[in-house]
Structure 1
Amino acid sequence: MLFLMTDQHRVDTLGAYGNPHVRTPNLDRLAAEGTRFDNCYTPTAICTPARASLLTGAAPFRHKLLANYERNVGYLEDLADDQFTFAGQLRAEGYRLGLLGKWHGGVRRTAADYGFEGPDLAGWHNPVDHPDYLAHLEEHGLPPYRITDPVRGTTPNGSPGNLLAARLHQPVEATFEHYLATRTIEMLHRWAEEGWGGDDKPFFLATHFFGPHLPYILPDEYYDMYAPELVELPASISETFAAKPPVQSNYSRLWAFDTMPLEESRKLIAVYWGYVTLIDQQIGRILDAMRELGPADRTAVFFTADHGEFTGAHRLHDKGPAMYEDIYRIPGILKVPGGPAGQVRDEFVSLTDCTATILDLAGSDTKPAADSRSLLPLAAGERPDWPEHHLAEFHGHHFPYPQRMLRTRRYKLVVNPESHNELYDLHADPDELHNRYEHPELADVRAELTRKLYDLLRERGDNFFHWMTPMYDVETDYDTTLSAFENEPETAASVPGQAGEERT
């Protein structure tokens, strides 16, 4: 199995997903050879929790790794020692594991602790000071990392904003993306020389690019590859934040969107496109190596991302406490040997579903991946019974901020306990500009989605439902106050969560 992953990658930057300008021939070819999932979503739009869900097959509330460590606000920083992972299962079944690139899966345990070969590349951005990268530059006589022309806005207190882009004064061969592809190809060659790919020596190799996550730091040929005039600014750039949770306008100020001219935003999107093309070319090098070395015809290939990126949509950059399609919908491509080519599926699937798919490909039990469903039936062209919704969650970044989202074919409900809830009609308002939660004509829709979300959370065991129980019109069958002392002794044990509690 070959698993290719990007970070903070918008679906609308890929030719296979309809972009007429961005050149992504290698990913487009992969989609043409396999299955493209048009409704692929992340379980949460933030790196570490999403990647932990991929590793475990568990929703964030269940694996409890809820925040990036760089902005951690008191949550756990590592998975529990007894947490199930697909890596542990594959390793136990004789798989050789490799991971080149971004890990971002905790602070105490590295990818090597889970059985992956490869250098330990910690953090959220390209670690250009890492000894292995520096050795790569020296080995190939390449110049050191150097940037100029930084692009950033001004934060509310007048200080420089986060770096959004800069020019990189290195050739493409010296970029971190080229380095990751080179190390991946070297590992493929080494494994081929040592024997691989047979029934007795299967492998799982992952390449996790740090891009196109901001800041977009690129050589001139990619920085200027696409003319800004090609970029059509998103309609949501006219966001007013009317009837929206105030945190969204706060985040807009954090990312200093309004301190930069719109033409700067157009250029930033064009640079982001260049980053996508750079990564596509490196993915092409890896896929070409697979074909040359021979295992391509018996290797399943995945391509996906941990979450999306705003790139100016809703006057925002990066990601955050706003559950818009820009950051929750992700690319998802799967090529399975012998499977149908050029297939497009519209079922709601998740990054978390990759876990059960990996296990299924290995012939392993998928049940330990508690919140994951194998995609193999879909990739085989079957029509299995499949949920008509996607459930997502968020727990905070910079500060705690709990959210839950239910996405159906037409509507999206977002519950924000501290603020305004949100309801979007994605047929009438695909850019999610108009929060219609309070609109009387959607009262029945709001009630139906609220009850559906409530039921799904209870089925999962996600305790967020306790907030919803007294606040909304939902059916309950338990003591919502969780006050066993109010019950008669003979009935207290029948209350969910109450049996065995001390009573006065």
Structure 2
Amino acid sequence: MNLLFLMTDQHRVDTLGAYGNPHVATPHLDRLAATGTRFERFYTPTAICTPARASLLTGQAPFRHRLLANYERNVGYLEDLRDDAFTFSSALAARDYQLGLIGKWHGGTHRNAASYGFEGPDLPGWHNPVDHPDYLAYLADNGLPPYRISEPVRGTLPNGNPGNLMAARLHQPVEATFEYYLATRAIEHLERYAADGRPFFLATHFFGPHLPYLLPEEYYDRYDPALVELPASTAETFAGKPPVQHNYSAHWAYDTMPAEVSRKLIAVYWGYVTLIDEQIGRILTRLDELGLQDTTSVFFTADHGEFTGAHRLHDKGPAMYEDIYRIPGIIRVPGAPPQVREELVNLTDCTATLLELAGCDPSPAVDSRSLLGLVRGERPDWPGEILAEYHGHHFPYPQRMIRDERHKLVVNPESVNELYDLVADSDELHNRYEHPEFAETRRRLTTRLYTLLRERGDNFHHWMASMYDIGDLDLDLTLSSFEKEPANRESP
């Protein structure tokens, strides 16, 4: 089975027609969803690029693989996977797979994609590397103009400095955009792999629609801001929430930009999504032209979501809201029925799925569970909750989350915990953690999170054992043996 893995960065699930957006044109991804399995509740293990991508590569939760932060803002964590880390690419290579990765790597500083067996231009970092030699050669070979932007959009930081670049007009035709370049390189690899005849894994990782949104005119102005309805959570007051969320709102300068700018930013973000959809369409069309559609499984997902103004925030950060933790997830396997699944599944589950499709043993992907049964329309016993974690960006900030059919609990050791009723309060505006009527829900989720963390080996559970109602303890919190009776030993 050939494997085509399409991935975006910082992609809101509600920007796709297949997920209900009535305005944004995403015909190619909508077609993929209509012919495959669309997962309605697909989550990232952590809403930050490098740790999420490392989880996909290894099939391990972040606390286990320990690559916990993007290197650009690293505050002392590992910057590369350990030497003994399992990766799905090594398993596929052992079965003679051709391996290609075109686009964003962002998986370490000393090791690049080639270190794990992938072919393709080495494209490090979090944003489009528009000064990369291979991209510059592509422009020169095709007589295309270089990258140039104007009219940058920024807010104002708390210290009065200009804020982060949010968007700008890009003075290039679509054929010169980094997105078009990536799709072109992916198609070149696809053609070469098809000619070789051996099975292949080919990933195309777009850097967008991650901010800043740098787009040509026809995409920058594609959508009328009047179509944009600002998220209801822009009414966020941060009352009863961890103070870091208000600080992050100031860092992203949301309140320094008027509502019309916020609407324009969302409209431009939509344009970015459409641009990427068109490039994915080029790849999928070429796949069909090469006659590979019946022998190739296709995945589409993202590493995490984006706030785009929700909760008066941009980007992502230390707030475990649906906006950044729920992501698109579409898988099309030849012969499997078109469907929509409601199970709570995880980006990390893609790892075991890839391994199973390739005929490899999925068990080394220890925190991953194959989705192949779900994709084939089966009804396996599937967990009724999902976990996520966060370790910081700019500064250490540990969080753990459990989400079930209706409720979400977030544990914040340095601050207040959060509990949301996702049915009555889908915008997560009201923290119910201290509300008496939610005492039983709080106790149930706390105990379940504690139990699952212990089963995983995530030492975050020690904090919970001290601080919250998790029932009777069955371990010594000091990790000592001071209170144990000495073992009776017979003299030699």
Q: TM-score under structure 1 normalisation?
A: 0.96
Partners of 1:490 and 1:173 in 2: CA distance: 75
Cα deviation, residue 480, structure 1: 1.6
- Provide the residue aligned with 1:255 in structure 2: 252
Cα deviation, residue 470, structure 1: 1.1
Partners of 1:333 and 1:417 in 2: CA distance: 35
Cα deviation, residue 484, structure 1: 2.2
Cα deviation, residue 295, structure 1: 1.1
Q: Is the Cα–Cα contact under 8 Å of residues 219 and 272 in structure 2 kept in the other structure?
A: yes
Partners of 1:298 and 1:367 in 2: CA distance: 24
- Provide the residue aligned with 2:285 in structure 1: 288
Say which of 469, 476, 490 aligns to 1:473: 469
Aligned pairs (5 A) from 1:377-392: 377-392=373-388
Partners of 1:126 and 1:296 in 2: CA distance: 30
Aligned pairs (5 A) from 1:293-442: 293-341=290-338, 343-442=339-438
Partners of 2:391 and 2:201 in 1: CA distance: 31
Cα deviation, residue 189, structure 1: 1.7
Q: Which letter maps to 1:189?
A: E
Say which of 176, 180, 189 aligns to 2:191: 189
Q: Deviations over 1:467-496 (max 9, x none)?
A: 0001111132011222323433339xxxxx
Q: Deviations over 1:110-136 (max 9, x none)?
A: 100111010000000000000000000
Q: Which letter maps to 2:122?
A: D
Q: Is the Cα–Cα contact under 8 Å of residues 98 and 193 in structure 2 kept in the other structure?
A: no
**SS state of the match for residue 371, structure 1?**
coil
- Provide the residue aligned with 1:110 in structure 2: 112
Cα deviation, residue 188, structure 1: 1.3
Q: Deviations over 1:207-232 (max 9, x none)?
A: 00000000000001000000001011
Partners of 2:267 and 2:280 in 1: CA distance: 20
Partners of 2:115 and 2:464 in 1: CA distance: 39
Say which of 19, 27, 30 aligns to 2:29: 27
Say which of 148, 167, 191 aligns to 1:146: 148
Partners of 1:490 and 1:479 in 2: CA distance: 17
**SS state of the match for residue 273, structure 1?**
helix
Partners of 2:406 and 2:435 in 1: CA distance: 16
Partners of 2:478 and 2:92 in 1: CA distance: 44
Q: Which letter maps to 2:90?
A: G
Partners of 2:162 and 2:303 in 1: CA distance: 28
Q: Deviations over 1:309-346 (max 9, x none)?
A: 000000000000000000000000000001102x0000
State yes or no: 1:52 paired with 2:48.
no
Cα deviation, residue 6, structure 1: 0.1
- Provide the residue aligned with 1:501 in structure 2: none
Say which of 233, 239, 246 aligns to 2:230: 233
Unaligned runs of 5+ in 1: 492-504
Q: Deviations over 1:79-103 (max 9, x none)?
A: 0011000001101111000000000
State yes or no: 1:490 paired with 2:482.
no
Cα deviation, residue 294, structure 1: 1.3
Q: Which letter maps to 1:264?
A: V
Q: Is the Cα–Cα contact under 8 Å of residues 42 and 346 in structure 2 kept in the other structure?
A: yes
Partners of 2:194 and 2:368 in 1: CA distance: 32
Aligned pairs (5 A) from 1:195-274: 195-196=196-197, 201-274=198-271
Partners of 2:234 and 2:379 in 1: CA distance: 38
Say which of 13, 16, 19 aligns to 2:15: 13
Aligned-pair Cα RMSD in Å: 0.8
Say which of 94, 97, 101 aligns to 2:96: 94
Q: Deviations over 1:277-335 (max 9, x none)?
A: 00000000000010111111110000000000000000000000000000000000000
Q: Which letter maps to 2:387?
A: L
Q: Which letter maps to 2:423?
A: H
Q: Deviations over 1:333-380 (max 9, x none)?
A: 000001102x00000011000000000001111100000010100000
**SS state of the match for residue 117, structure 1?**
coil
Partners of 1:87 and 1:167 in 2: CA distance: 38
Partners of 2:399 and 2:410 in 1: CA distance: 7
**SS state of the match for residue 485, structure 1?**
coil
The count of corresponding residues between Structure 1 and Structure 2 is: 485
Partners of 1:259 and 1:247 in 2: CA distance: 18
Partners of 1:208 and 1:428 in 2: CA distance: 36
Partners of 1:176 and 1:489 in 2: CA distance: 67
- Provide the residue aligned with 1:277 in structure 2: 274
Q: Which letter maps to 1:241?
A: F
- Provide the residue aligned with 2:157 in structure 1: 155
Partners of 1:478 and 1:229 in 2: CA distance: 58
Q: Deviations over 1:385-405 (max 9, x none)?
A: 000111000000000000000
Partners of 1:490 and 1:397 in 2: CA distance: 47
Partners of 1:22 and 1:489 in 2: CA distance: 69
Q: TM-score under structure 2 normalisation?
A: 0.98
